[in-house]
Amino acid sequence: MSTTTKPSTQQPRTAGLVAASVLVAALGGGLVACGQGGASAALAPDVTVTNAASRPAARPQVQDGQAAPLKAARPTGLTIPSAGVRTDTMLDLGLDENHELEVPSVADAEKPGWYTGAVTPGERGAAILVAHYDTAKGPALLRDVAKMKINDVIEVGRADGSTAKFRIREIQQVDKKDFPTNKVYGTTAGPELRLITCGGPIRDGHRSDNIIFFADLVK
């Protein structure tokens, strides 16, 4: 997989805002290549989630009105109790030749990936994680994505031994042609997480939609 150079975590906030704007401009959209791929029959049922949103989750640690950000530390694993996800692996993902976010390979269908061009989970900003719902070989890591609801917890293990705990604030399923690039990758006031997968019916060999979870750091 190709990778991109991660922006410096020591940048001042104003520089971070500029970097976020450049990032949004550079990205072509969502997970275009995510989904079944090929012409094989679907081995997992079509999935649709209910779009929903809540107020930002309660934050026990407050800094400038937001959860206190963590220092940079590479993500090392992902746990989502409501979806039965528990893994101690994390892939590094970059952008492909079309400036679209890479996705894990079919061989890595049971592994999540972290977009290295954004912040690490727990830092101030929007951290981006990606995982498959299914591939041409069948159900994948987020096979139970439909069980995930507002206020569910997403935990991300980090290389410094800490765990960044996020609570889901919003769930959005969109056609890949209407991917909300600015909303997903744009500047945030505090530490947030976007977890992206695919859903909807098969269209031209791939899932037609992206399912996006927006979550706030709560611990």
| Structural domain contains residue 211 | yes
Kindly report, residue by residue over 106-141, the tens digit of the pLDDT. 999 999 999 999 999 999 999 999 999 999 889 999
Lowest mean pLDDT among 9-13, 26-30, 44-48: 9-13
Q: Which has the higher per-residue pLDDT, 192 or 27?
A: 192
6 inside domain: no
Question: pLDDT averaged over the chain?
Answer: 80
The mean pLDDT of 142-149, rounded to a whole number, is 95
- Give the pLDDT score at 28: 53
**18, part of any domain:** yes
Q: Taking 70 as the threshold, does the pLDDT of residue 37 lie above it?
A: no
Give domain status of residue 160, yes or no: yes
- Whether 4 is in a domain gets the answer no
Residue 191 inside a domain? The answer is yes
Domain count, the chain: 1
CATH code of the domain in which 203 resides? 2.40.260.10
pLDDT given at position 35: 60
Q: Which residues contact 92 (CB under 8 A, 6 or more apart)?
A: 1, 3, 113, 114, 116
Q: Is 127 a domain residue?
A: yes
The predicted model scores a pTM of 0.80
Asked whether the predicted pLDDT for residue 63 surpasses 90, the reply is no
At 202 the pLDDT is: 86
Which domain does 129 fall in, by range? Answer: 13-217
Tell which residue, 178, 172, 177, 174, has the closest CA to residue 194.
172
> DSSP readout, 16-38?
HHHHHHHHHHH---S-TT-S--S
Region 1-10 average pLDDT = 32
Q: What percent of the chain has pLDDT over 90?
A: 57
Instruction: Look at residue 21 and tell me whether its pLDDT is greater than 80.
Output: no
Tokens of 185: 């990758």
Residue 60's pLDDT band, with cuts at 50, 70 and 90, is very low
> Is 7 a member of any domain?
no
168-217 pLDDT, tens digit per residue, is: 999 999 999 999 999 999 999 899 999 999 999 888 878 889 999 999 99
Please give the Cα distance from 176 to 52 (Å, whole number).
18
